[in-house]
Structure 1
Amino acid sequence: MRSTFAIVEDVVYRLKAAAALLNISENTLRNHLRDSAMEIQRANKKNPASPAVRLFSIADVFALARWRRDQELVKRVSPEPVVIAVDLIKGGVGKSTTAGELGVQLSLLGYRVLMIDLDVQSNLTQLMGYESDLTIDEAAQNDLDDDAIVTGTFSTICGQYMESKSGRGTRMMDISSVIKYPFGENGPALIPSDTFLGDLEQAFTYAKGNRELVFRNLFKDAAAGNVPGLAISDYDFVIFDCPPSISFSSTNAIAAANLVIAPIRMDSFAVKGLSRLVSEINGLSERSPEVRPQLVILPTHYSTNITRVSRMQHQLQAYKSNLSPTVISSSELFPKTQENYLPLTLQAPTAAPVGEYRLFTEFLLSVIAKNQKKSRTKAEAAV
């Protein structure tokens, strides 16, 4: 039985594709296989008539990524998890796609990633292989085990957390069962969404203290070991997929974030939504000076054949210091990711949009490195 709707056992990669996923050369991959002593299945094991080429599974690739991390071939980018909120008050711009592809790309580089779906539409949850309304009977009918069923969301965690802070002596239960591992323990982790995630907005109305900083305080307490089952310090990155609406959930995600990624669809008028997001970030920073996320604008659905693109490019010049140098091209491949319950990076490692998301991931890592250097310089100057 499977634990997600994605038929991951049917997805295999030859050496070239596996190397592309890991962003290393084929020779480097061969050396890693030798040094790690990992056994990779050969094509002729099942079919003697096939050539004896290696066939890497998704689990194999993520295991190699984790091995690279364990060998310190990949260094931690920050002493604390880098929190990223993917947000824009407009639907259909590529928020869930960006959150999912970025999470997978970072995991393939060897980083530990936790993705959190904050949208009741559950697009990120579906992209990772889960149907949020799946019942036990339906799971059995689809040859899925119990792990395929969404039993909790970030609302489950935050609701318990806010209740524990209410002064009524309530203790948090272990929330580890809420976290999903769609590609095994070496791949990205996911806190899924379902329709009950909407309860979180009502829960905020009863929160003690600053309701805009609940997520931020939750992560601080988790880092101190006070949130059972949420070992937040084990992660290098936490990625929020925010809903396309004004909400306490989005505000909290922005307030907890080091980076806010705003996907801007280049074939629609999304600049008003961007202006609203900038105002929200500035307002949060004024009310809470410790909240200072950096905005990164990612143009998506890019095509030179679309007449609106030149107008959009002109409008975005007002934010040119925040613009990503990489754009994500329009592609008919993206709709298939939801159908197959699998991110495009894992479906088509050498596809052009996958390469663009890889470049964007590298750009983000360079931004984080610069920010870390500035922080160290500032700390040293203060001594």
Structure 2
Amino acid sequence: MNVENETSDEIQNFVDFQNLVYPPAFAAGCFGLTTRRLKDIEEEHGVNIRRVARGSVPSRAYTIPDIFEISALRRSLNQAKGLPRQIVVSTFVPKGGTSKTTTAVNLSIYCQLAGLKVLLIDNDPQGDTSGTLGYDPDLGPEDLVEMGIPADRLVDGHLGNLIGPLLRMRPFEEKTLDQVIKKPFGENGIHLIPADAYLEDLGVPLDASNNSDMWYAKWIEDGNTGQIPGCDLSVYDLIIFDNAPSGSRLTKNSVAASELLLCPVRMDKFSFRALIRLHDWCARFAKEYKFAPAISAIPTMFKRNRSRLLSNLVTLNELFPGGVTDEKIYFSEDYEKALDLGIPLMLWKGANKATLDAARDVYSEILGRIRTLANEG
């Protein structure tokens, strides 16, 4: 079932991202441009955008592939820049419901629109990141047929199919990157390595191996240096792992491979306890590995003028000095609505402008930190 009306209350089986259309103002906002400047870029470089009738005047109507095509064009013109070297990022907080997946997905989209080439890896066997992008890990081929969902939405590979062959124990069928990867928004959009429940089995050979927390780092290094046939990771500026809210072997591997740890944290009393656990977890990790990624703790679902939240924010800054973003993700029903519709907030034209602007400010700050790390290496 296609999504024809984004404001419909009906439960949709899937969202056809290729056929969603956007007005010029939204498309321009994705790049921080005026509609006039966006139109100039299209005319100067022969980008054809469909016209639709809006009243008596035809108006440009952009698809998601159109928007990402323009992003790729701007990069080729040096109007938007990649990174001087690849950066690996992980999300982690030892508590659910803190917006880790929302952050990973929307940051990936934001960075791709800003000129980076992004690989998003679902490292959680629950597959929430995959589901957010239209790949329900619980649906088999027969389910897709019955529900009228395209066959290419099948999750038929995950990180275990790529890393498993590096290990002595091989519980997974060996696959190339192209066989596993999904491209929900087309070639020029973010690329996704999805996950399903079988990814959890990767923990078994990891536990049994030497240097059990370093295999993701080895896979990335080998994939960047041409040592794995059919797995070229060097084309990506940014690799983002989205993790489960547990310090599992899979999570530790992703953190050990990362230079930046993103920690979206609610400021309520329950999430506040997670702050302490996160601080202690990071301290143990640093002691064990003599290394720790930089931290960006992101206050999420923040409400203004709440004394307890402000107090917790002070404590967060004390726990992670210099590691808390100045910008905040403010509470908004838009996040839940976007989730219900199956459209990431960064690509939902129904979102309130204030919600979008606040989120973009946070992701811009994080991208700034990523660029700093890339330039320091």
Shift of 1:350: 5.6
SS in 1 for 2:78: coil
Report the equivalent of 1:60. 66
Q: Is the 8 A contact 2:126 2:197 kept in 1?
A: yes
Q: Indicate how the Cα distance of structure 1 residues 288 and 147 shifts in structure 2: closer, same or farther if over 3 A, else same.
A: same
Q: Is the 8 A contact 2:317 2:323 kept in 1?
A: no
Q: Is the 8 A contact 2:18 2:185 kept in 1?
A: no
**2-structure distance, mates of 1:193, 1:171:** 14
Q: Is the 8 A contact 2:161 2:173 kept in 1?
A: no
**2-structure distance, mates of 1:190, 1:126:** 11
Q: Indicate how the Cα distance of structure 1 residues 321 and 82 shifts in structure 2: closer, same or farther if over 3 A, else same.
A: same
- Structure 2 letter corresponding to 1:194: D
Query: Percent identity among equivalent residues?
Result: 28
**1-structure distance, mates of 2:44, 2:147:** 39
- Structure 1 letter corresponding to 2:317: Q
1:5 aligned residue (7, 14, 18): 14
2:204 is the alignment partner of 1:199 = no
Q: Indicate how the Cα distance of structure 1 residues 268 and 185 shifts in structure 2: closer, same or farther if over 3 A, else same.
A: farther
Q: Is the 8 A contact 1:267 1:301 kept in 2?
A: no
Which is further off, 323-332 or 29-38?
29-38
- Structure 1 letter corresponding to 2:240: I
Report the equivalent of 1:20. 29
Q: Indicate how the Cα distance of structure 1 residues 175 and 368 shifts in structure 2: closer, same or farther if over 3 A, else same.
A: closer
Report the equivalent of 2:152. 147
Report the equivalent of 1:36. 45
Q: Is the 8 A contact 2:158 2:193 kept in 1?
A: yes
**2-structure distance, mates of 1:335, 1:195:** 24
- Structure 1 letter corresponding to 2:252: T
Shift of 1:141: 2.9
Report the equivalent of 1:353. 355
Shift of 1:189: 0.6
Shift of 1:204: 1.2
Shift of 1:92: 0.3
Q: Is the 8 A contact 2:262 2:297 kept in 1?
A: yes
- Structure 2 letter corresponding to 1:314: V
Report the equivalent of 1:378. none
2:86 is the alignment partner of 1:70 = no
User: Cα deviation per residue 1:214-240 (whole Å; 9 max; x = unaligned)?
Assistant: 111110111111223332110011111
Report the equivalent of 2:257. 256
- Structure 2 letter corresponding to 1:293: P
Which is further off, 274-283 or 103-112?
274-283
Alignment of 1:324-339 (within 5 A): 324-339=325-340
SS in 2 for 1:263: strand
**2-structure distance, mates of 1:259, 1:65:** 24
**2-structure distance, mates of 1:206, 1:215:** 15
- Structure 1 letter corresponding to 2:66: D
Shift of 1:253: 1.0
Shift of 1:50: 4.8
Report the equivalent of 2:230. 229
- Structure 1 letter corresponding to 2:369: V
SS in 2 for 1:238: strand
User: Cα deviation per residue 1:322-353 (whole Å; 9 max; x = unaligned)?
Assistant: 11011001111112233222201101366323
Report the equivalent of 2:304. 304
User: Cα deviation per residue 1:11-48 (whole Å; 9 max; x = unaligned)?
Assistant: 2111111000122222221121012201101013xx8x
**1-structure distance, mates of 2:28, 2:316:** 35
Q: Is the 8 A contact 2:84 2:375 kept in 1?
A: no
1:83 aligned residue (83, 88, 91): 88
- Unpaired segments ≥5 residues, structure 2: 3-12
2:128 aligned residue (123, 129, 133): 123
User: Cα deviation per residue 1:180-202 (whole Å; 9 max; x = unaligned)?
Assistant: 00011110011111111111222
Q: Indicate how the Cα distance of structure 1 residues 104 and 369 shifts in structure 2: closer, same or farther if over 3 A, else same.
A: closer
Shift of 1:111: 1.2
**2-structure distance, mates of 1:174, 1:374:** 32
Q: Is the 8 A contact 2:111 2:367 kept in 1?
A: no
TM-score by length of 2: 0.89
Shift of 1:9: 4.5
Aligned residues: 364
1:176 aligned residue (156, 175, 178): 178
**2-structure distance, mates of 1:161, 1:315:** 42
User: Cα deviation per residue 1:110-130 (whole Å; 9 max; x = unaligned)?
Assistant: 211111111122221111111
Shift of 1:162: 1.7
Report the equivalent of 2:8. none
**1-structure distance, mates of 2:316, 2:175:** 46
Alignment of 1:101-116 (within 5 A): 101-116=106-121
Q: Indicate how the Cα distance of structure 1 residues 161 and 269 shifts in structure 2: closer, same or farther if over 3 A, else same.
A: same
Q: Is the 8 A contact 1:14 1:54 kept in 2?
A: yes
Q: Which aligned segments of 4 or more residues in structure 1 are displaced greater than 6 angstroms? A: none
**2-structure distance, mates of 1:277, 1:107:** 29
**2-structure distance, mates of 1:137, 1:245:** 32
Alignment of 1:149-168 (within 5 A): 149-163=154-168
Shift of 1:306: 4.7
Shift of 1:66: 0.7
- Unpaired segments ≥5 residues, structure 1: 376-383
